[in-house]
């Protein structure tokens, strides 16, 4: 172990400021933990003028990334600028220069995993990214280390705070999607362009990372089903909560059965007594099932300046404590024989069909479902004036996704059916 480890921080934005704040506050604790000195030697950003409201020695600020990447004294680089470029080039250059890297960049890890891990391994340096999923929640390390005795059977994650906030507020306040989204934007919980969060793309990137660690398999984002929450209406929430006694969550799911791996992101109905149903507001929760341990769950703040900084600095400490350790992420993946297509999965489904209320409607719809071998567990149709559009809510028994999709396609072509039918998968276990 060296007498001092020099750190270079690229990106002095929100998370970067949180890291500097953590150094200011807890450096004594960090150094005691690793038993050596840690020095934040250089902080690089395009903007080094704006006051971040955090104490920093002006002399360590620079706008030139070479002050970190080309400095042979810097041992560990923290990348917090996010996005693909120039973050990717910076990380690859750092790794190639024999520097260990900590990053919170989920997009980059999810997209360029193979190149990044290869470069890190070739240069015998560590790459750590605990902050990329679940913010400050110790998640990747427990999955990778604490549960190392286990073959992972399933991972279910609520890992996007924005989507979870919106669903929670729709449930608690009885407001419609658009209203809650606007409120979330005003509070800063949702971006001005919220697509990335509410359509599940952010969740998908994090799921890619969890799938590497849990199953040893890297799957590209366009290779699995990703579906967001923007089609969910207050009428759905109300029925799901009050009539069915379920909660609705945007879930990242990766699970294996008989060698077949399912990887998917979509809104999901959960029994209200499922622990994930208690993960509300902007909080994240990841529920992991191991073959030895059974279910465990990790919970906490999945984003934000300080929680994310906690994970970044945790990685930094881990690297210094285990500086010669190889990067081992996930099992070899040999348990996975096949990635299941979404059409192959089986599930219970919630259906919301909008149809004109007239005699025979339910008869026709149930006939189509029956033709596709889909049996109905419960159905509910609120009375309105005949001839008006009315929602029909249904829950099916377990059915094949392919059949449900085909049945819904057929139902949506019926002339008395209005807007497209919504179907949401139900998780029972």
Task: Please report whether residue 61 would count as binding a second copy according to CB under 8 A.
Answer: no
d(CA 142, CA 137): 10
Select from 9, 67, 77, 90 the least CA-distant residue to 43: 9
* Candidates 21, 42, 88, 206; catalytic one: 206
Handedness of CA 147, 161, 107, 347 (dihedral sign): positive
Out of 83, 259, 326, 367, the only residue in the binding site for a second copy (CB under 8 A) is: 326
Of 44 and 139, the one with the shorter C-beta distance to a second copy is 139
Of 201 and 249, which CB lies nearer to a second copy in the complex structure?
249
How many CB atoms lie under 10 A from the CB of residue 382? 11
Number of residues that bind a second copy (CB under 8 A): 58
Tell me how far apart the alpha carbons of residues 320 and 309 are, in angstroms, rounded to a whole number: 17
127 makes contact with a second copy (CB under 8 A): no
- Is 41 designated active site? no
Shortest Å, Cβ 135 to a second copy = 8
Least distance in Å: CB of 197 to a second copy? 20
130 contributes a contact to a second copy by CB under 8 A: yes
For residue 318, state whether it binds a second copy (rule: CB under 8 A).
Answer: yes
Least distance CB 175 / a second copy (angstroms): 19
Per rule CB under 8 A, is residue 211 in the interface with a second copy? no
Instruction: Report if residue 321 touches a second copy, rule: CB under 8 A.
Output: yes
- The nearer residue to a second copy, 167 or 181, going by C-beta atoms, is 167
Residues 6+ apart with CB under 8 A from 258: none
**141 lies in the binding site for a second copy (CB under 8 A):** yes
- Least distance between a second copy and beta carbon 22 (Å): 5
- Contacting residues for 133 by C-beta, under 8 A, at least 6 apart: 106, 139, 140, 157, 159, 206, 209, 210, 286
Of residues 252-311, those binding a second copy (CB under 8 A): 273, 275, 278-280, 290-301, 304, 306-307, 309-311
Q: Kindly tell me which of 308 and 396 has the beta carbon lying closer to a second copy.
A: 308
Which range, of 19-27, 112-120, 161-169, 174-182, touches a second copy by CB under 8 A?
A: 19-27
- How many angstroms separate the CA atoms of 285 and 279, rounded? 6
- Does 314 interact with a second copy (rule: CB under 8 A)? yes
Closest CA to 134 of 115, 156, 117, 151: 156
- Give the shortest CB-331-to-a second copy separation in angstroms: 6
Check residue 167 for interaction with a second copy (CB under 8 A). Answer: no
Q: Does 173 bind a second copy (CB under 8 A)?
A: no
- Residue 53 corresponds to which tokens in the numbers above? 């409201």
Structure tokens at 247: 């909660």
Choosing from 4, 46, 173, 328, the residue that interacts with a second copy (CB under 8 A) is 328
CB atoms within 10 A of CB 221: 15
Q: In 4-128, at which residue ranges do the beta strands (DSSP E only) sit?
A: 4-10, 37-44, 61-62, 74-79, 100-103, 127-128
Q: How many Cα atoms sit within 13 Å of 26 on the Cβ side? A: 14
Segment 27 to 56, residues that bind a second copy, using CB under 8 A: 29-30, 32-33, 35
Residue 7's contacts (CB-CB under 8 Å, 6 or more residues apart) are: 38, 39, 40, 41, 74, 75, 76, 77, 78, 316
Return the number of the residue (32 or 89) whose C-beta is nearest a second copy. 32
Q: How far is the CB of 4 from a second copy (least distance, A)?
A: 18
Asked if 199 and 230 count as a contact pair (C-beta separation under 8 A), the reply is yes
What residues are annotated to the active site? 206
Q: Which residues of the chain form contacts with a second copy (CB under 8 A)?
A: 18, 22, 25-26, 29-30, 32-33, 35, 130, 136-138, 141-142, 145-151, 273, 275, 278-280, 290-301, 304, 306-307, 309-314, 316-318, 321-322, 325-326, 328, 331-332
């Amino acid at each position: 172990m060296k007498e001092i480890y020099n750190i270079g921080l690229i990106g002095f934005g929100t998370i970067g400021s949180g890291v500097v704040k953590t150094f200011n506050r807890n450096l004594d604790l960090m150094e005691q933990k690793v038993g050596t000195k840690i020095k934040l030697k250089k902080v690089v950003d395009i903007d080094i003028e704006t006051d971040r409201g955090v104490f920093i020695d002006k002399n360590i600020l620079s706008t030139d990334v070479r002050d970190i990447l080309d400095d042979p004294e810097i041992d560990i680089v923290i990348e917090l600028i996010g996005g693909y470029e120039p973050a990717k080039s910076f990380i690859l250059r750092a790794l190639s220069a024999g520097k260990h890297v900590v990053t919170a960049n989920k997009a980059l890890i999810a997209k360029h995993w193979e190149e990044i891990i290869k470069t890190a391994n070739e240069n015998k340096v560590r790459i750590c990214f605990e902050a990329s999923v679940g913010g400050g929640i110790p998640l990747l390390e427990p999955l990778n280390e604490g549960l190392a005795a286990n073959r992972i059977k399933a991972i279910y994650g609520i890992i996007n705070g924005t989507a979870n906030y919106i669903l929670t507020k729709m449930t608690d306040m009885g407001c419609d999607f658009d209203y809650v989204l606007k409120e979330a934007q005003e509070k800063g919980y949702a971006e001005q362009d919220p697509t990335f969060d509410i359509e599940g793309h952010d969740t998908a990137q994090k799921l890619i990372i969890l799938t590497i660690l849990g199953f040893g398999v890297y799957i590209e984002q366009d290779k699995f089903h990703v579906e967001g929450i923007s089609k969910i209406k207050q009428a759905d929430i109300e029925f799901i909560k009050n009539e069915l006694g379920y909660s609705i969550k945007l879930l990242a799911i990766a699970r294996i059965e008989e060698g077949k791996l399912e990887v998917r992101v979509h809104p999901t109905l959960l029994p209200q007594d499922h622990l994930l149903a208690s993960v509300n507001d902007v909080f994240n929760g990841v529920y992991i099932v191991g073959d030895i341990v059974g279910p465990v769950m990790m919970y906490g703040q999945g984003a934000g300046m300080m929680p994310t900084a906690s994970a970044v600095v945790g990685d930094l400490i881990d690297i210094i404590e285990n500086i010669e350790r190889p990067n081992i992420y996930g099992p070899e993946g040999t348990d996975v024989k096949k990635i299941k297509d979404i059409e192959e999965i089986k599930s219970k489904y919630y259906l919301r069909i909008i149809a004109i209320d007239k005699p025979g409607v339910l008869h026709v719809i149930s006939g189509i479902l029956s033709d596709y071998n889909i049996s109905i567990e419960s159905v509910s149709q609120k009375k309105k004036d005949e001839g008006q559009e009315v929602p029909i809510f249904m829950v099916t028994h377990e059915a094949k996704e392919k059949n449900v999709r085909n049945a819904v396609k057929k139902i949506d072509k019926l002339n008395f059916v209005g807007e497209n039918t919504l179907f949401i998968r139900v998780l029972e276990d």
